[in-house]
Copies of this chain bind each other. A is one copy, B any other.
């Protein structure tokens, strides 16, 4: 499966980047712990594959891919904090604040967000590409944080229905970054406007699909299986897809989004085959 192959490359690249960080060792080891413990590496894999689909080489997208994994991991570390979701377990190991203390978890999260922009701007791309990558990443990260505000603190106006709230949370908290991962890959690969629109459409569809699948796993799987606490969202009174839509409608939604994602790639031919394979995996994953 393509994701396994990519995961090896991505983790080697992340390890090299973490090793290259200067003092203080405490911070470097906190970043290593959070970033390299384990993880699906979906976002960087999407970036690399979208770069290839657009005709680029994987190496053109390494900095962007690494930056996306940093942003994703920063969001997990801060979301897990006691003042937020207060989670003890992540990717099958103690969360960073349990392992290294709350102050270090806050600072390591901050450092990861910042390093994401540093890695992109220190990359080898030309200035125009770099500037577009940084803008795309910044917009998506702001959206992700807005999604986290909706999810954790609330703040919807009363007119917004439960289904619309759920859609807004998913779109911001999850889909924005997955969409950006695909779009940034396209930018790195020199995609033209039509290609970039297609890859972005694919990213949007799999982004929404990812969260519906995640919500389904949260009610159907055990903590041991997925490596993080399950059933917590429901207990915390958070909106989840199965609660709002019902499990049957969720599965239909996954199917619809899977078809949308694959349809978006129709113009690419063979070069998009790995993206179609990845979409299939994301639709049927069990952890």
Residues of chain A whose beta carbon lies under 8 Å from any beta carbon of chain B = 23-27, 74, 78, 81, 83-84, 101-104, 106-107, 109-111, 113-115, 117-118, 120-122, 127-128, 130-132, 134-135, 137-139, 141-142, 145-146, 148-150, 152-157
Contacts and interface: CB of A to CB of B under 8 A. Distances in A.
A111 B146 contact: yes
B24 A145 contact: no
A77 B59 CA distance: 38
A81 B106 contact: yes
Contacts of A141: 114
Contacts of A104: 149, 153
A115 B134 contact: no
Contacts of A155: 23-27
A186 B27 CA distance: 31
A149 B114 contact: no
B84 A103 contact: yes
A137 to B, nearest CB: 8
A106 B83 contact: yes
A109 B137 CA distance: 17
A138 B114 contact: yes
A103 B83 contact: yes
The binding surface of chain A is classed by DSSP as: helix
A81 B139 CA distance: 26
B110 A145 contact: yes
Most buried by B among A81, A102, A106: A106
A24 B111 contact: no
A156 B24 contact: yes
27 contacts: A24-B149, A24-B150, A26-B153, A26-B155, A27-B146, A27-B149, A78-B107, A81-B106, A84-B106, A103-B152, A103-B153, A107-B153, A110-B110, A110-B113, A111-B142, A111-B145, A111-B149, A114-B142, A114-B145, A117-B117, A118-B138, A118-B142, A121-B134, A121-B135, A122-B135, A127-B128, A131-B131
A147 to B, nearest CB: 10
A157 B26 CA distance: 10
Which A-B residue pairs are the 6 nearest by beta carbons? A26-B155, A121-B135, A83-B102, A118-B138, A24-B155, A117-B138
A161 to B, nearest CB: 15
Contacts of A138: 114-115, 117-118, 121
Contacts of A153: 26-27, 101, 103-104, 107
Contacts of A25: 155, 157
Nearest to A141: B114
